[in-house]
Every structure is written in structure tokens, then in C-alpha cells.
């Protein structure tokens, strides 16, 4: 009988416990705000419910006794609560933010990253292309970010009281010796490389990694794209030239190759625009590039990029020195750039990166005061060969150690008429750096760099430290400190090999708040310059200086429908004593206040994007030699204002994806004066102004996608 | 003897318990799958709720791919129907996690590839200029893969048609091409027999609905 009872009991056990109990409760976050959509369940059963708008839930269950109530919501840590069910039960659960990969702190002091990869990057690669007034030039687009100067009369990116020379450009880790086209006086060349070549752009305005050296102020780190998603042909035509290219994705989808050619001739367009100065040779640019990419394994990638370019241009302008005469400046430039990189995972959390690069740049310049004296011929040639290797070892979940070295062989040749001044430089460096996550919220980057260059025959050691701490899921603070060394510019090092390294020490503090559609950044910095080049009374590296300031960045992609805008403001207090400066003063390339507003408006109904960029900066000092030395650089130019407009329209012509672009730089034709130049007798001066104050560009690009997707769909 | 009897009892008891679980599985799945056949369930909040139910079933039935599949289907449909772009990525992430678990149980499954394709499609909307190319290609490739696994699956043609229907013409979309796909899909639906009452069988009404929008 007993046994029968037992049998019956066992058989009906599942049935016996089927009495239903009601479980209710409320789910909140750690700040007691209700959470909606939380999946609440009795562990290992089907019973449960989803929390409503007020965070409350209610369900019935057959479960009894000791049970676990689970609560899951994406972005929050799973919660499990032990309960004892004997009747109606109330369970209130508090969920905590999950610290997962997305929420782990990253080092951000001093750097702006444009990439598709992170969900919370400040910029997307497309933002660079679509910034009005930038003309799809990377550096021009970056001039809308804090820390940069509106120095449109000089080549390069002027960052935080630094000169254009103090910013270095890297492609896939390799230094680019001549990232800009050679330009005419007061009309700097734009960047050589199209923003479409890169999937990631990091602009560091200071405190950057020990992987990079030889830039006192700033690093522009470009990462080339991987395999294209499909094969395509492109054709472009604009008021200034034509271009064409093809890119072929190999059948096995593990490799691709492409070629591109372009021809630009400003001649016909300049006849319409009427520039301020005549052209003796209207600018003609011819170029071509080739690339090859191959996946060598699941994790390995080999990339080649090669570029060759030829330009010819010249202007004739009234002579300042010799009234009544004209000065001719004619430039011929050849440039070749090649870059071969390889990366692979070696297993065991080791990664290997290596690259070789070779480039050569030749500028031939004819200077002539017409009908007065014989012309002077200047030739400048720089060659750079380099090799770089780096190993990275992952340590635990997030931390890592990286170290490597590079070697550069540079040949700098210059000739004035038949007077050559050539030199060779062997530059070697090694670096080691470790990102250590003390907790997922606190990371430190500790590293250093050792450099030796044969021309100077001295070594330097540059320590770099960064810290970042995540305050909340969206906000963090970062700090960076580091020493940065750079060789003096070639024109000084050429004649005075006993110069030392120039040096800058950076201290940076950043607060950043990044939500999905909003970004706020506030950064304060102090930079101390040592050993800058002096040319008077003698050429030495004994100059000094400092820069300090505060910068703001705000971006909002949501508040106004279909509108995306950002605002940058930079306050800069900088003085330096370098070149022929008699004492520390605010240099002639630095403005105290700089402001930019970038506004993008999208009209989906007619697939059109409109953009407006407004830039403002206060006047820059200029040197007036008629004043006593104590008033050196005491006068300032007028304020700088510029409004760029752009409109792009997407459509398809036959099967080609086509985009029309209209862009206007300085649309209201504001007067822009960058400075003044004086004749040596101090009797005359001329304004430094843009040769073409307002530039209107109209172009179209067609992409004939050999869209495998369509092929495949049509063949089904 | 006692011990043997006890063991038998225990076995019978366990078997009946697990049979109950299995019967419960079919019943609960059937009830929830039926809710997805009802068009009134198709709003983002309701879909999230049904998705959560499937996720709970999946957590309890770790060897069945269908609960994960349906959880993912509900989340991705909720993502596609969201008004608020900010919620899309979270829902798509949730859908992705579930469909990966379904795939781990049932690899090389054309129905699973269809959902993975939908997950990719749902992500495009958050940032079409930056994401359109990448996720559009990914979505299309998954459908090709699904089609290679099973040429008779009507949902593959439906989703291909849907992509053509919603893609703007300048990016390769075409209403007439979409219509052709829907016609194939409807023809395949007419002969399609789901493996069981709870096996994937959605889409016919949706195909007809989209078709009706093409003049």
C-alpha cells in the first residue's frame, strides 16, 4: 500500500504542483526610473512577462518553493533573484547598466575619430566628404573641429598654436612626407589623398600614442579601406576636370585591385572666374593611382597603394619690391607615393603589423622679376624610404602591450640655381606602449618612444601617458601627458646640422559626453615649447613658447528633424619666440578665438543634402616693420568670416548611381585678409588675400556598380 | 525489489513530467506562433512582448531552435516597425543574439538565414548613407545563401522582393522587379508545406499586401 501510494504520488507529482501563483513587481534602474520591455521569468520555465511602461509586470506560474526570478534587458546586466513561492509574491528588481565592450572606456584625450566601427564615434567618414565648404578635402573638413586654425593662406593643419609643419600625416601607420599638393604663394595646395580612400580618420590635436613621432603638435592618422563590397567603375566630371577609375573585387571575394586616373585643368574655368592675379601657367594636374588588397588568411591582410602625380602652374603678380615690374612664380611638381602594409594575427593574442613605403617629391620653381633680372631656379627634392614593424599582445580581456620600431632613410636635395645643398638622414626609432585596464572604467596608457637621427646625431626619449575614466555610461574624463620631439624643418637642418630637436610637452584634460545623437566635448590644454628654431641673431634651436586654451565641441543629430549640426569653439592663448622674433609674442598664424558651425540638412523626398559651414576667427597678428621692435606683431588683421554652401543630389542615370554636387566657398564673398607683406624699404605693403575669394564648383560622379547583389537576384 | 519498484516509479514520474513539458512546449509554442499569424500583434511593443515569451521558452528548452528563431523574428520585426530610430540597434542586437543561438542548434538552415538577412536590413535605417552599402550587401548575400540551401522557401523571394520594393531606385531598387519576386514567392507559398504547425510559415499575407501596393 505504501508502495502504491508512493507510485501514485510520483506519477501525479507534476499534476499536484500545478496550482497557480501570481507574481507581480516593478523593474527599475539604479536611479529608480522604471524600465520597459524587461523580460521577467521564472528560471527554466516558460512563465514570465514583459514589463510595461511603468516598469511593472505580473504573471502566473505553476512553480513553487525555491525558485529564481530572472530579468533581462539589453544593455543591462542579467539579474537573478532567489525567491520562495508559496502564494502571491511581489518581486521588485533593480537592474544595473552592463559594462560590456561598448561601454568600456577608451582613451580620447586630444583625439577626434571618424569611423564606422564604433557606434559612438564623433564623426563618420562621410561627414568629412559632406562638410560644406571643405570641397571633400580631409584637412579642410578637420578645420571645422576645435583646436584648428583657419590658416587658409598656408599649407597644412595649424593646431593649438603649432605650425603646419608640426602636424604629421600617417597612412596605415606610415609617415607621409608630402601629404599636400605643392601650391603657389599664399595659395596652399590641398591634400593629395581623397577621403574616399579611408575607412578611419583620427585627428589628434595632442597627447597621441607613442607609435607616432616627429610631430610637435598633432597627428592625422588615416586608415585605408579594406576590400570593396563590390566591383565598380566610376566616372567624374566637373568644371575643373575629369576622372575615372575601376575597382574589381576578385571572384573569391578575398582580393581586389583598382586603378584610377584624373586630369584637372583650371584654365577654362579661370577665364570665367577672373582671379586677382594672372596665371602664367594655368594649373594642370595629372595623376593616377593603383591599389591591390588581398586577404592572406582569415585574419591576414596585404595592402598596396601607389600614387603618381604631376602638376604645373604659375602666376604673375605685381612686384612689391620693384614697383612697375611683375613677379613670375612657376612651379612644376612630380610626386610618387607608395605604401605596402601587412597585418596578421599570430595566435595566442599576438598581432603583427608591418609596412614599407617609398615616396619622392620634386618641386622645380622658376622665380623671375620679369624684364628686370635673370630668373632664379629653385629645385627641391625629397625622397623617403621607410620600414616599420609592430607587435601587439593582448593581455586579458582589454589590456594590451604593443612595441615596434621603424627606420627611415631620407634624402633631402635642394638647389638654388646651381648651388646644391643636399643631405641624407637616417632616422631610427623604437616604441613601447601598454594599455592597462585597471577596471573596465579606468584605463591607463603608458609608453615611450626613443628616436635617433643621424643628421642631428642625438637621441631623444619621449614618455607618453594617458588616463581615461568613465564617469557614467555616456560620459568620461581623460588626461594626457607627453613629450614630443621633431627635427627642425629641412631648410634649416640643411645648412645647420648642429641644430637639436625641437620639443613640446603636452598636458591635456578632456570631458566628453557621447550619447547616440549628441556629443559634447570640453578640452583644456597646456603645451610648452622648447628648443624651437631661431634664425636671428643666429640659427639655433633655442626658441621657446607656450600655448594654452580651452575648446568646446557640440554635435546634435536629432533635435531638428533631418538636421545634423556641430559647433566648435577654440580659445587659444599662445606666444612664442622663434625664427626672427625678438621676444615671445602671439605668432602670425594664431588667432585667439575660432568658431565653426557645420549644418547639414537632408531632404529625403528628393534625395538632396544641403550643407552650410560658417567659420569665424579673430584677427591674426602681422609684422609691421615700420613700428619699433617693441611693437613686434602688435597689429592684427581684420576678423575672418567665411560661409561655405553645398548641395548634393542623388539620382540614377540608367543603371549608374549618380551624384551631382554644387559647392560654393565663401558664398557672400566676405573680404578675407590673412596678413600684410612689406617691401624691404618698408614703404609699400600688400595684403595677403585669397587669389579666388569665391570658388564655385559643380561636378557629377557616376558609379557603375557591377552589383553582384543584383546579378545574383536576377539570376535566381 | 523495493528499490526496483522505486526506480520504476521514479522513471515513470520523470517521463510523465518530461512528457508534460513536451506537450506544454507544443501547446505554448502553438499558442504564441498563432499570435504571430494575427495581424493585430504587429506593433513594436506587442512584438517585443511575444519575442520575450519566445526568449523565455528558449531559455527553458535549450535544444530547440524554434523558440530562438521566433524570438529573433519578433525582435527584428519590432525593430523594422519601430518609429524611434534609437531603439533599432538594441532590438537588432537582441534579434542577432537569438538567431545565432538558433543557428548553433540548427546550422545550414535557410529559415535562419532569412532572419539574419532581416537583421541586417533593419540596421540600415539608423544611418542609410553610412550603412546602406554594407548591410544591404550582407542582407542580399544571406538570402542568396538561403536560396542555395532551399530553392522552395517562399520567404527568400518575399524578402528579396521586399528589398527591391523599399530600396530607392537610385540605389538599385525597382517596383517592377519587386513584383516579379512577389509573384514567385506567392507561387512557392501555394505549394509550401511547413514541417509542423509551429514551423516557420509566415509571409504570404505580407507578400500580398506589398504586391497590392504596386500598381
Window A:198-257, CB contacts with B under 8 Å: 229-230
* Nearest CA distance, B170 vs chain A (angstrom): 4
Residue A561: partners with Cβ closer than 8 Å, 6 or more residues away: none
Q: At what angle do helices B175-191 and B154-166 cross, to 10 degrees?
A: 160
Judge contact between A316 and A277, C-beta under 8 A. Answer: yes
Please give the C-alpha separations between residue B53 and each of B59, B101, B106, in angstroms, as whole numbers: 10, 16, 21
Contact assignment for B56 to A46 by CB distance below 8 Å: yes
Show the cell assigned to B93: 542586437
Rg, C-alpha atoms of chain B:
20
Query: What integer is the mean pLDDT of A130-151?
Result: 90
Torsion sign (Cα): B136, B140, B145, B149: positive
User: Where residue A317 falls among pLDDT bands split at 50, 70, 90?
Assistant: very high
| pLDDT tens column, A662-703 | 999 999 999 999 999 999 999 999 999 999 889 999 999 888
DSSP per-residue codes, A87-107:
S-EE--EEE-B---GGGS---
Q: Which residue of A has its CA nearest to B173?
A: A710
Please give the C-alpha separations between residue A271 and each of A180, A268, A332, A662, in angstroms, as whole numbers: 25, 5, 21, 19
Judge contact between A436 and A394, C-beta under 8 A. Answer: no
Closest CA to A435 of A468, A404, A463: A468
Query: What integer is the mean pLDDT of A524-551?
Result: 95
Which stretch of A11-15, A136-140, A482-486, A692-696 has the lowest confidence by average pLDDT? A11-15
SS (H, E, C) chain B: CHHHHHHHHHHHHHHHHHHHHHHHHHHHHHHHHHHHCCHHHCCHHHHHHHHHHHHHHHHHCCCCHHHHHHHHHHHHHHHHHCCCHHHHHHHHHHHHHHHHHHHHHCCCCHHHHHHHHHHHHHHHCCCHHHHHHHHHHHHHHHHHHHHHHCCCCHHHHHHHHHHHHHCCHHHCCCHHHHHHHHHHHHHHHHHCCCCCCCCCCCCHHHHHHHHHHCC
Closest CA to A165 of A475, A579, A603, A476: A579
Three-state DSSP class for A321? coil
User: Where residue A341 falls among pLDDT bands split at 50, 70, 90?
Assistant: very high
pLDDT at A714: 37
Residue A188 CA, chain-centre distance (Å), reads 20
Residue A622: partners with Cβ closer than 8 Å, 6 or more residues away: A588, A633, A635, A636, A637, A675, A676
CB burial string A596-633: b at 16+ within 10 A, e below: bbbbbbbeeeebebbbbbbbbbebbbbbeeeeeeeebb
Residue A12 half-sphere exposure toward CB, CA atoms < 13 A: 7
Q: Is the ipTM of this complex over 0.85?
A: no
Three-state DSSP class for A26? strand
* Nearest CA distance, A44 vs chain B (angstrom): 4
Mutation target among A38, A650, A713 for the B interface, most CBs of B within 10 A: A713
pLDDT at A71: 92
| pLDDT tens column, B57-70 | 998 888 999 999 99
Mutation target among B59, B86, B151 for the A interface, most CBs of A within 10 A: B59
pLDDT at B180: 93
Window A:408-467, CB contacts with B under 8 Å: none
Nearest by CB to A124, from B12, B130, B137: name it. Answer: B130
Is pLDDT above 50 for A101?
Answer: no
Contact assignment for A709 to B169 by CB distance below 8 Å: no
pLDDT at A708: 42
Is pLDDT above 70 for A715?
Answer: no
Rg, C-alpha atoms of chain A:
31
Query: What integer is the mean pLDDT of A89-109?
Result: 76
Peptide bond connecting A385 to the previous residue in cis, omega within 30 degrees of 0 = no
Three-state DSSP class for A587? coil
Judge contact between A702 and A716, C-beta under 8 A. Answer: no
pLDDT at B116: 96
Three-state DSSP class for A708? helix
Query: What integer is the mean pLDDT of A646-657?
Result: 82
Round to whole Å and give the CA distance between A343 and A300: 5
* Nearest CA distance, A650 vs chain B (angstrom): 7
pLDDT at B1: 52
Task: Kindly report the average pLDDT of chain B as a whole number.
Answer: 86
Backbone angles phi, psi at A269, to 5 degrees: -75, -35
pLDDT at B11: 52
Nearest by CB to A707, from B56, B157, B172: name it. Answer: B172
Is pLDDT above 80 for A122?
Answer: no
Show the cell assigned to A677: 607683406
Residue A299 half-sphere exposure toward CB, CA atoms < 13 A: 9
Size of interface A-B (CB pairs under 8 A): 104
Torsion sign (Cα): A101, A102, A103, A107: positive
Is A19 near chain B, with CB under 8 Å?
A: no
Is pLDDT above 70 for A11?
Answer: no
Contact assignment for B170 to A652 by CB distance below 8 Å: yes
Query: What integer is the mean pLDDT of B145-156?
Result: 93
8-state DSSP, A486: E
Is pLDDT above 50 for A14?
Answer: no
Closest CA to A585 of A629, A526, A542: A629
Nearest by CB to A650, from B16, B17, B170: name it. Answer: B170
Cross-strand bridge partners of residue A660:
A649, A700
With beta carbons under 8 A apart, name residues in chain B contacting A10. 9-10, 12-13
Strand A442-453, strand A458-470: pairing: antiparallel
- Count of helix runs (H) and strand runs (E) in chain A: 6, 40
Identify the helix (H) or strand (E) that includes residue A490: helix A490-493
With beta carbons under 8 A apart, name residues in chain B contacting A705. 172
Contact assignment for A652 to B93 by CB distance below 8 Å: no
8-state DSSP, A191: B
With beta carbons under 8 A apart, name residues in chain B contacting A225. none
Percentage of chain B exceeding pLDDT 90: 53
Contact assignment for B16 to A14 by CB distance below 8 Å: yes
User: Where residue A261 falls among pLDDT bands split at 50, 70, 90?
Assistant: very high
Contact assignment for B9 to A37 by CB distance below 8 Å: no
Is pLDDT above 90 for A118?
Answer: no
Query: What integer is the mean pLDDT of A165-188?
Result: 94
User: Where residue A109 falls among pLDDT bands split at 50, 70, 90?
Assistant: confident
Is pLDDT above 50 for B88?
Answer: yes
Window A:89-108, CB contacts with B under 8 Å: none
* Nearest CA distance, A707 vs chain B (angstrom): 9
Which stretch of A63-72, A675-684, B92-101 has the lowest confidence by average pLDDT? A63-72
User: Where residue A379 falls among pLDDT bands split at 50, 70, 90?
Assistant: very high
Q: Where are the beta strands (DSSP E) in A163-230?
A: 167-171, 174-176, 198-204, 218-224
With beta carbons under 8 A apart, name residues in chain A contacting B56. 39, 41, 45-48
Q: Which residue of B has its CA nearest to A115?
A: B130
* Nearest CA distance, A408 vs chain B (angstrom): 37
Which stretch of A110-124, A258-272, A671-685, B110-124 has the lowest confidence by average pLDDT? A110-124
Is pLDDT above 60 for B19?
Answer: no
pLDDT at A15: 44
Closest CA to B173 of B189, B157, B183, B160: B160
Query: What integer is the mean pLDDT of A12-35?
Result: 76
Q: Which residue of B has its CA nearest to A38?
A: B52
Closest CA to A613 of A88, A128, A9: A128
**Cα pseudo-dihedral A486, A491, A496, A498, rounded to 10:** 10
Round to whole Å and give the CA distance between A450 and A429: 5
* Nearest CA distance, B75 vs chain A (angstrom): 11
Amino acid at each position: 500500500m505504501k508502495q502504491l501510494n508512493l507510485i501514485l504520488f510520483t506519477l501525479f507529482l507534476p499534476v499536484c504542483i500545478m496550482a497557480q501563483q501570481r507574481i507581480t513587481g516593478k523593474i527599475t534602474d539604479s536611479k529608480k526610473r522604471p524600465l520597459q520591455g524587461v523580460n521577467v521569468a521564472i528560471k527554466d520555465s516558460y512563465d514570465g512577462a514583459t514589463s510595461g511602461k511603468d516598469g511593472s509586470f505580473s504573471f502566473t506560474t505553476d512553480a513553487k518553493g525555491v525558485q529564481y526570478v530572472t530579468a533581462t534587458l539589453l544593455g543591462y546586466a542579467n539579474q537573478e533573484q532567489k525567491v520562495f513561492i508559496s502564494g502571491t509574491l511581489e518581486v521588485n528588481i533593480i537592474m544595473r547598466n552592463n559594462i560590456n565592450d561598448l561601454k568600456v572606456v577608451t582613451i580620447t584625450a586630444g583625439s577626434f575619430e571618424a569611423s564606422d566601427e564604433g557606434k559612438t564615434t564623433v564623426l563618420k567618414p562621410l561627414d568629412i566628404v559632406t562638410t560644406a565648404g571643405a570641397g571633400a578635402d580631409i584637412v579642410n573638413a578637420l578645420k571645422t573641429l576645435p583646436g584648428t586654425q583657419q590658416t587658409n593662406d598656408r599649407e597644412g593643419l595649424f593646431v593649438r598654436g603649432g605650425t603646419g609643419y608640426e602636424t604629421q600625416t600617417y597612412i596605415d601607420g606610415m609617415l607621409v612626407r608630402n601629404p599636400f599638393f605643392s601650391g603657389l604663394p599664399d595659395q596652399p595646395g590641398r591634400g593629395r589623398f581623397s577621403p574616399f580612400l579611408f575607412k578611419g580618420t583620427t585627428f589628434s590635436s595632442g597627447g597621441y600614442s607613442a607609435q607616432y613621432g616627429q610631430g610637435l603638435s598633432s597627428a592625422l592618422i588615416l586608415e585605408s579601406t579594406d576590400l570593396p563590397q563590390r566591383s565598380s567603375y566610376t566616372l567624374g566630371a566637373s568644371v575643373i576636370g575629369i576622372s575615372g577609375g575601376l575597382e574589381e573585387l576578385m571572384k573569391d571575394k578575398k582580393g581586389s585591385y583598382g586603378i584610377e586616373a584624373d586630369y584637372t585643368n583650371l584654365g577654362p574655368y579661370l577665364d570665367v572666374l577672373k582671379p586677382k592675379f594672372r596665371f602664367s601657367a594655368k594649373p594642370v594636374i595629372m595623376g593616377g593611382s593603383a591599389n591591390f588588397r588581398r586577404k592572406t588568411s582569415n585574419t591576414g591582410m596585404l595592402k598596396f597603394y601607389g600614387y603618381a602625380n604631376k602638376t604645373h602652374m604659375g602666376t604673375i603678380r605685381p612686384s612689391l619690391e620693384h614697383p612697375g615690374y611683375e613677379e613670375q612664380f612657376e612651379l612644376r611638381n612630380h610626386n610618387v607615393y607608395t605604401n605596402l602594409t601587412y597585418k596578421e594575427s599570430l595566435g595566442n593574442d599576438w598581432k603583427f603589423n608591418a609596412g614599407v613605403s617609398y615616396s619622392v617629391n620634386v618641386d622645380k620653381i622658376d622665380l623671375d622679376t620679369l624684364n628686370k633680372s635673370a630668373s632664379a631656379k629653385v629645385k627641391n627634392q625629397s625622397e623617403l624610404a621607410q620600414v616599420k614593424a609592430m607587435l601587439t599582445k593582448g593581455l586579458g580581456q582589454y589590456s594590451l602591450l604593443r612595441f615596434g620600431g621603424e627606420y627611415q632613410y631620407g634624402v633631402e636635395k635642394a638647389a638654388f640655381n646651381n648651388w646644391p645643398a643636399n643631405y641624407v638622414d637616417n632616422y631610427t626609432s623604437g616604441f613601447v606602449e601598454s594599455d592597462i585596464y585597471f577596471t573596465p572604467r579606468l584605463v591607463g596608457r603608458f609608453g615611450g618612444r626613443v628616436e635617433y637621427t643621424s643628421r642631428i646625431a642625438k637621441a631623444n626619449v619621449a614618455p607618453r601617458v594617458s588616463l581615461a575614466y568613465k564617469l557614467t555610461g555616456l560620459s568620461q574624463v581623460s588626461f594626457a601627458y607627453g613629450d614630443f620631439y621633431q627635427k627642425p624643418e629641412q631648410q634649416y637642418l640643411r645648412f645647420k646640422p648642429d641644430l637639436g630637436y625641437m620639443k613640446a610637452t603636452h598636458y591635456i584634460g578632456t570631458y566628453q559626453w557621447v550619447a547616440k545623437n549628441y556629443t559634447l566635448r570640453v578640452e583644456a590644454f597646456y603645451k610648452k615649447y622648447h628648443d624651437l628654431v631661431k634664425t636671428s641673431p643666429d640659427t639655433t634651436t633655442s626658441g621657446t613658447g607656450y600655448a594654452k586654451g580651452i575648446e568646446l565641441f557640440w554635435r546634435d543629430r536629432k533635435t531638428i528633424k533631418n538636421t545634423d549640426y556641430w559647433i566648435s569653439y577654440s580659445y587659444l592663448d599662445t606666444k612664442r619666440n622663434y625664427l626672427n622674433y625678438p621676444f615671445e609674442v602671439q605668432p602670425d598664424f594664431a588667432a585667439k578665438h575660432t568658431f565653426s558651425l557645420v549644418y547639414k540638412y537632408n531632404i529625403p523626398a528628393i534625395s538632396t543634402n544641403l550643407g552650410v559651414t560658417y567659420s569665424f576667427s579673430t584677427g591674426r597678428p602681422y609684422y609691421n616693420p615700420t613700428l619699433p621692435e617693441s611693437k613686434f606683431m602688435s597689429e592684427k588683421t581684420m576678423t575672418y568670416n567665411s560661409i561655405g554652401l553645398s548641395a548634393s543630389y542623388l539620382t540614377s542615370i540608367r543603371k549608374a548611381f549618380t551624384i551631382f554636387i554644387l559647392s560654393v566657398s565663401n558664398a557672400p564673398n566676405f573680404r578675407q585678409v590673412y596678413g600684410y607683406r612689406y617691401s624691404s624699404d618698408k614703404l609699400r605693403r600688400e595684403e595677403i588675400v585669397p587669389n579666388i575669394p569665391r570658388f564655385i564648383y559643380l561636378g557629377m560622379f557616376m558609379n557603375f556598380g557591377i552589383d553582384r547583389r543584383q546579378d545574383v537576384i536576377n539570376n535566381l | 525489489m523495493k528499490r526496483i519498484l522505486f526506480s520504476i516509479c521514479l522513471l515513470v514520474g520523470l517521463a510523465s513530467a518530461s512528457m508534460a513539458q513536451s506537450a506544454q512546449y507544443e501547446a505554448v509554442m502553438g499558442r504564441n506562433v498563432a499570435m504571430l499569424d494575427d495581424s493585430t500583434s504587429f506593433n513594436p511593443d506587442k512584438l517585443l512582448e511575444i519575442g520575450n515569451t519566445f526568449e523565455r521558452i528558449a531559455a527553458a528548452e535549450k535544444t530547440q531552435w524554434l523558440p530562438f528563431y521566433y524570438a529573433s523574428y519578433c525582435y527584428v520585426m519590432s525593430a523594422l516597425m519601430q518609429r524611434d530610430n534609437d531603439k533599432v540597434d538594441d532590438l537588432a542586437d537582441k534579434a542577432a543574439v537569438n538567431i545565432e543561438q538558433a543557428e548553433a542548434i540548427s546550422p545550414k538552415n535557410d529559415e535562419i538565414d532569412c532572419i539574419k538577412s532581416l537583421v541586417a536590413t533593419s540596421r540600415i535605417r539608423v544611418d542609410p548613407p553610412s550603412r546602406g552599402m554594407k548591410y544591404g550587401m550582407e542582407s542580399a548575400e544571406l538570402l542568396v545563401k538561403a536560396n542555395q540551401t532551399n530553392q522552395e522557401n517562399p520567404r527568400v523571394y518575399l524578402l528579396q522582393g521586399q528589398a527591391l520594393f523599399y530600396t530607392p531606385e537610385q540605389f538599385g531598387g525597382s517596383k517592377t522587379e519587386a513584383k516579379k519576386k512577389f509573384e514567385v514567392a506567392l507561387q512557392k507559398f501555394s505549394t509550401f508545406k511547413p514541417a509542423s504547425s509551429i514551423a516557420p510559415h509566415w509571409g504570404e499575407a505580407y507578400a500580398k499586401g506589398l504586391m497590392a501596393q504596386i500598381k
